Structure 1
Amino acid sequence: MAMKSLTDLYIHFLRDVLYAEKQGMKTVRRMSRRAENDDLKTLFTEQADDTEAQIENIEKAFELIDKSARGVRCEAMDGIIEESKDLMEEAQDGAVRDAAMIAAAQAMKHYEITRYGTLAAWARQLGHEDAAKLMKDNADRDIAADKALSKLAEKHLNQQADTLAA
């Protein structure tokens, strides 16, 4: 699709983030199965479930502009996911793998937060206030998820991973 207007960019970014969310959800579910720490397993499961609501918000944003909700390959998210797979394979100890998976999940969340901020701003500019609210809701969900991951890491997972080298 040629991008000749802000509307074209908006649609492209909606498709990009739809793909990113769907791929990210699969990866976080995989991380949940690989996590050693029970709190992390639970957090990943909750985040994957919450992603379903985010996908619904994206689909609603497509409906508001009478476009079909279909994703477009997001190479940035593919790269983040590939790195997360490498980290899960290379981290030998469960605590180290848990710390690595938190970092990878946060990288996914940070990417999504930037996309949602941009989409919300563009939706407002284009007069799609309802869509802007949906994108802000998605950004807020990702910000909360990022904070929860940081809290868990700083509470004890990073320390557990660090004591293994001693």
Structure 2
Amino acid sequence: MLIVVAGVSGTGKSTVGKALAGHYSLPFFDGDDFHSKANIEKMKRGKALNDEDRFPWLEALSNLLIEHEKAGGAVLACSALKEAYRNILSANKTLPVHWIVLTGSEALLASRLSSRNDHFFDPKLLRSQLNTFQLPYYGKHIDVAMPVEEVVHSAIKFINRNV
């Protein structure tokens, strides 16, 4: 089983992803851990990544999903902002991915980002991510204004219906 928890920064992808990984006894991977040093430095400087920056990162994450699909599955937290990015992640839709798409108001997300101290993402980049984000027509869309336990429960219900 492959699960990708997608959404802009501040939606709680890692928190929800870790909870889903625990529930399904699957390994968890945070896409942020796979960024190049150059990408991390760029974001620290408040510069948005472009497609050229993202494509090698997305290919690496896709290869990770391919590897783990053969081994029984995994959960990946990844922004997956554009449909083209989701196509790369799912190996052009050949992988059986359960998409959990987290959404929230800009005010809520900005508030969450301003309280993070241990992350390289510059909160000023939120607007850029929101402008880039293409909401998919598939998967489970969950507003993160509700408590995290409800977000996770909603994701589990969706996944269990689609297994």
- One fold, TM greater than 0.5? no
The structure richer in strand per residue is: 2
- TM tier, smaller: under 0.3
Q: Relative contact order (alpha carbons < 8 A, sep ≥ 6): 1 or 2 greater?
A: 2
The structure richer in helix per residue is: 1
Normalising by the residue count of structure 2, what TM-score does the alignment of the two structures yield?
0.28
Larger Rg: 1
